[in-house]
Amino acid sequence: MVTAGPTVEKIDPVRFISNFSTGKMGYAIAEALASEGAKVLLVSGPVRLTVSHPLVSRIDVTSADEMFEICQSLFPTCDGAVMTAAVADYSPVHIAEEKLKRVGNNWTLELKANRDIAAELGKMKRTDQMLIGFALETQNELDNAQLKMERKNLDMIVLNSLREEGAGFGHDTNKVTLLERKGHISEYALKSKREVASDIVEKIAELLSLPA
């Protein structure tokens, strides 16, 4: 299973909270896994991308809550999951049924924390399953990524730094460092997201062939 893209949290019928994720990294990973023969369930937030590989089945979702429900029900049927989605950390406490009117000069929107999908899958994970997350950090990158991997019970975390020119959201290129739970760290050069996806899939294959 691969999660990809942003989630969209509705405020009212015409407004929402979201982020700049384009889904490119997740779609590239889904395609790379499929080209190695894996059957892929791609759980995707709203993106402008299409997927053509016959081994990729796309499941469209909108909100973090919806993504959580689908992932939780599908994960037990999967050998593993790669969590690339930029899931909104918070969503509005109330979704207004009618368009909200402008009132006064200041407006406060009450938000509640969304569930952490990767962490919840980390709790459900069987010993025969692999869970891989992404980390987007701007400071103390390696330490924060390491802590995130442990907190969410991931087997590997892909660190991409927003400080790197041409890497991350919206770009066609990415520069990543792979941190494995067993301690190994691999740094890669700036590459196209397709090439980065192949590197990640190669590492997954390597981890699968290692004795537990």
Local structure of residue 140 (DSSP, 8 states):
S
The stretches of the chain forming alpha helices (DSSP H) are 24-35, 64-74, 117-124, 141-151, 193-209
Q: Does 83 bind ligand CTP (CB under 6 A)?
A: yes
- SS3 track for 6-29: ECCEEEECCEEECCCCCCHHHHHH
Among 2, 85, 176, 179, binds ligand CTP (CB under 6 A): 85
CB nearer ligand CTP, residue 22 or residue 114: 114
**Binding letters toward ligand CTP, positions 92-131, x by CB under 6 A:** ----------------------x-xxx-------------
CB nearer ligand CTP, residue 3 or residue 174: 3
Kindly state the smallest distance separating residue 62's Cβ from ligand CTP, in Å. 14
CB nearer ligand CTP, residue 148 or residue 191: 148
Q: Does 41 bind ligand CTP (CB under 6 A)?
A: no
Among 28, 135, 176, 207, binds ligand CTP (CB under 6 A): 135
Q: Interacting stretch for ligand CTP, rule CB under 6 A, among 45-53, 80-88, 163-171, 191-199?
A: 80-88
62 close to 46: Cβ distance less than 8 angstroms: yes
In order of 29, 108, 134, the CA distances from 155 in angstroms are 17, 39, 11
- Counting every residue written for the chain, the total comes to 212
To 5 degrees, how large is the angle CA 90–CA 24–CA 92?
A: 15
Total of chain residues touching ligand CTP, rule CB under 6 A: 15
Query: Which residue matches tokens 């893209």?
Result: 5
Among 32, 51, 134, 149, binds ligand CTP (CB under 6 A): 134
CB nearer ligand CTP, residue 32 or residue 64: 64
Annotated catalytic residue 160: no
Determine the Cα–Cα distance for residues 155 and 207; give it in Å rounded to an integer: 9
Among 6, 122, 133, 168, binds ligand CTP (CB under 6 A): 133
Give which of 2, 5, 7, 122 is closest to 64, Cα–Cα.
7
Determine the Cα–Cα distance for residues 201 and 60; give it in Å rounded to an integer: 23
Residues contributing to the site for ligand CTP (CB under 6 A):
3, 64, 83, 85, 87, 89, 114, 116-118, 133-136, 148
Active site residues: 19
